Amino acid sequence: MRRSAPAGRRGGGRLRLAVTAMLAGTLLLTAACSGGGDDDKPSWQGGGNGSGAGASQAPSAGPKLSTVAVTSPATDATSVELRSEVKYNSEDPQNTEVTVTDAKGKTVEGTLDKDGNAWRPAEALAWNTKYTVTVKTPAAEGKNNTTTSSFTTMKEPSDLVRVTSFLADGQTVGVGMPLIMKFGKAIPEKYRGEVERRMPVTATPAQEGTWRWISPTEVQYRPKEYWQAGTKVFYKAQLKGVKLGDNAYGRSDLTVDLKIGRKMVMNVSNKTKTMTVEEDGKVIKTIKVSLGKKSTPSASGTMVVMEKAAHTIFDTTDEDPVNGYKTPIDWAQRVTYSGQFIHAAPWSEGVQGRSNVSHGCVNISEALGKWLFDRTLMGDVVTVSGTEEKLKNGDGWTNWNMSWEEYKKGSYLKN
């Protein structure tokens, strides 16, 4: 007969089995919950080299809040120039809004360059005024992402430079008319390029052109070719608060809106002693002329009508007290600073078309002097050819008396 194990021994066996199972479970739990590095992690927790199909990915990050900051002008900056741009940082520039307000809370007009992260005022800001900048991007993660900054513009300086335009709104001028801007004091060379940048010219239809410095106080603009007949021209000087010298600033802005008339060109030939008048490419009149005699020759070159007077007096006695003269003149049209005019000269009508007897002017008859005077505009082109003397650049509006390549050299904006 088989003997049974004692009860104590049977119970002890079951106890050993339970302890063994519990220890094994403890070891598995320890292996799963502890470890010194990635190599100790099971593959299903992203550790070790496991990459089985059952591996899960780490949870993705939530939406990131875009941050903004004003970088220029610095917060609470003072003496800021009137045309300074506002620079900012943004992680979402295409959806960033920029608002600038003055001390009264009025919004300042400006343009936003989202690619360059810059806001630029449409006009000069006011002197000695506090402005507040607000930069904002769309809310993210329930937060309103907005920043503000303030700055104060410079006080009005004592040295302000007056800027004036020779032409005014509403004028109609000839196809050779240069745009002329003058300054109340000399502009040093290092500031001239910035002045040109601040004086944009818009022509409709569009035409290539450039400014050229005639002197430290005067700059003129012409297109590459004569203005197209009927062109609308708009130009502006955005110079208020712009530095025009070491301690000088522009006093104000100005704009001019004008029109180019029909194309009229007067071609004077010393060889034939005639003036051929062309309008829009067609000859409308041929006029007999008398030019300057050998001792006082007319200048050959390309000029424009600068000034018109129906009746005036030529007085040269101040320049030449001995041989000077005072003579009443009708239908005078100035083409040079030095005194070359187109005008009626009834005393030379008998030789007009045959010989030269003037002091350098273009003489025409009384009747044709009025006919021409009634049809010309300031800025109409006059060419004289075949005389003993050449026109000196600068003796009048001689913008067309040089090539385009030569003319461009007078600009401080280098392409």
Question: Is the alpha carbon torsion for 361, 364, 365, 368 positive or negative?
Answer: negative
DSSP bridge partners of 112: 119
CATH code of 93's domain = 2.60.40.3780
Tell me the HSE value of 108 on the side-chain side, using a 13 A CA sphere: 28
Do residues 280 and 222 both lie within one domain?
A: no
Residue 175 and residue 303 in one domain: no
Question: Do 246 and 302 fall into the same domain?
Answer: no
pLDDT tens, 30-58?
A: 333 334 444 444 333 333 444 444 444 44
101 is in which domain, residue-wise? 68-153
Q: Are residues 229 and 336 in the same domain?
A: no
pLDDT tens, residue by residue, 334-381 = 999 999 999 999 999 999 999 999 999 999 999 999 999 999 999 999
CATH number at residue 178: 2.60.40.3710
232 and 180 inside one domain? yes
Among 261, 285, 307, the domain-final residue is 261
Q: Is residue 38 part of a domain?
A: no
Q: How far apart are CA 303 and CA 398, in angstroms?
A: 6
Residue-wise pLDDT for 6-34, tens only, equals 444 444 444 343 334 443 444 333 333 33
Find the Cα–Cα–Cα–Cα dihedral 354, 358, 362, 365, rounded to 10°: -70
**In this structure, what token pair is assigned to residue 117?**
């992260």
Asked if residue 174 is part of any domain, the answer here is yes
Domain count for the chain, please give it. Answer: 3
Q: With respect to residue 16, please indicate whether it lies within any of the assigned structural domains.
A: no
8 Å CB contact between 107 and 100? yes
Residues 257 and 288 in one domain: no
Check residue 37 and give its pLDDT.
Answer: 44
Same domain, 133 and 200: no
79 close to 155: Cβ distance less than 8 angstroms: yes
pLDDT bracket for residue 185 (50, 70, 90):
very high
Domain identity same for 102 and 168: no
Mean pLDDT, the chain, as a whole number?
87
> Based on the domain organization, do 251 and 380 belong to the same domain?
no
Residue 3 resides in a domain = no
**How many Cα atoms are found within 13 Å in the side-chain-facing hemisphere of 347?**
7
- Catalytic residues, which ones? 343, 361
- Domain with residue 346: its CATH number is 2.40.440.10
- Domain identity same for 215 and 122: no
Digit-coded pLDDT (tens) for 300-332: 999 999 999 999 999 888 877 887 788 999 999
For residues 393 and 291, membership in a common domain is answered with: yes
Same domain, 347 and 369: yes
> Is 18 a member of any domain?
no
Pick the last residue of a domain from 153, 185, 216: 153
- Residue range 162-166: mean pLDDT, rounded: 97
Of 205, 229, 261, which residue is a domain's last? 261
Residue with tokens 């030789």: 351
Whether pTM exceeds 0.85 = no
